[in-house]
Amino acid sequence: MLPVLVVHGGAGHIPKERSEKSTAGVCSAVRAGYAILQGGGSSMDAVVEAVSELENNPSFNAGCGSVLNVKGEVEMDAIVMDGKTLGSGAVSAVRCIANPVQLARLVMDKTSHACLTAEGATQFASAMGVPTVPQESLITEYSRIEVTEIHEAGRTVFTKEGKMG
Amino acid sequence: TVGAVAVDSDGNIACATSTGGMLNKMEGRVGDTPCIGCGGYADNKIGAVSTTGHGEAIMKVTLARLILFHMEQGQSVEAASDLGLAYMKSRVDGLGGVVTVDPQGHWAARFSSPQMSWGAAQKDTLHYGLYTGE
């Protein structure tokens, strides 16, 4: 069996000034996850490592760098799934944690549920010892500019591509 | 949105997807990402998919599971990914992208949107791209 890891950093229109950082980011995430596979680690560990790295990279719309909602706030969603057991875990509308994908994995590993949302997800994170982070630490200048331009233009979204999550 | 799929040396398959959602979304809006079969799916017997794109459209066609359905019917990872994305475009006018693997380690990164950043590693070789055809 030849291990393989594939990642994506999101679909849509990627502005030219962000394309190099986006490409570098996915390559770095692939290297991090693939190193786990090369060391005999599991596919679950590899995908969580790769996605965590992408969440920590402000060039991507997840974790630090998440787009803002209509109130200028960050609400994040994540899922993991294990193909051996069909086990899965997810969180939705979660706030103030750095790595929602790691919380999703805890939902899979530590609960009998498939998805925890909003305040319940936050309470679960606290119970699991996942540290909270200030919302400001997840918001980038680019995200602020994007949502400000939409509000100033009186629109709900930029373009068809802008609707993508 | 970001995501990953992998096959390890034991043949076990997994997927993960994470997102900040849609720009300027309503408070409380939840898209495809945390929904099984939409933002991702993994089954050792078939393969795994992680998706990105128009969240509501992805949910309407359960894109990840749809692609794996095509693989169950004998389609390759590339063909199944393209079929799923084409169906989403034709039925609900949705665009997006996916990364897909099968239990043999075949992989694909396909998208109907203008761009999608992606990377893959296998046999100590790194592949990556941003535009169609890369």
Q: What is the pLDDT of residues B59-115, one digit of tens each?
A: 999 999 999 999 999 999 999 999 999 999 999 999 999 999 999 999 999 999 999
Contact B95 A54 (CB under 8 A): no
Segment A116-125 mean pLDDT:
97
A115: confidence class by pLDDT, cuts 50, 70, 90: very high
**Helices A43-55/A100-110 angle, 10° precision:** 150
pLDDT band at A151 (very low <50, low <70, confident <90, very high): confident
Residues of B in contact with A12 (CB under 8 A): 52-53, 95, 113-116
Each residue's pLDDT tens digit, A9-40: 999 888 888 899 999 999 999 999 999 999 99
Contacts of A33 (CB under 8 A, 6+ apart): A5, A7, A46, A47, A49, A50, A53, B4, B6, B121
pLDDT band at A82 (very low <50, low <70, confident <90, very high): very high
pLDDT > 70 in chain B, percent: 100
Mean pLDDT, rounded, for B11-29? 96
Instruction: Say which of B3, B25, B36 has its CB closest to residue A7.
Output: B3
Amino acid A156: pLDDT: 61
**Chain B nearest-CA residue for A14:** B115
Q: Identify each DSSP E strand in B2-102 by its residue range.
A: 2-7, 13-19, 40-43, 47-53, 96-101
Q: Give the model's pLDDT for residue A1.
A: 64
- Residue A146 pLDDT level (bands cut at 50, 70, 90): confident
Q: What is the pLDDT of residue A150?
A: 80
Q: Is B1 a catalytic residue?
A: yes
* Interface mutation target, options A2, A79, A122, chain B, most CBs of B under 10 Å: A79
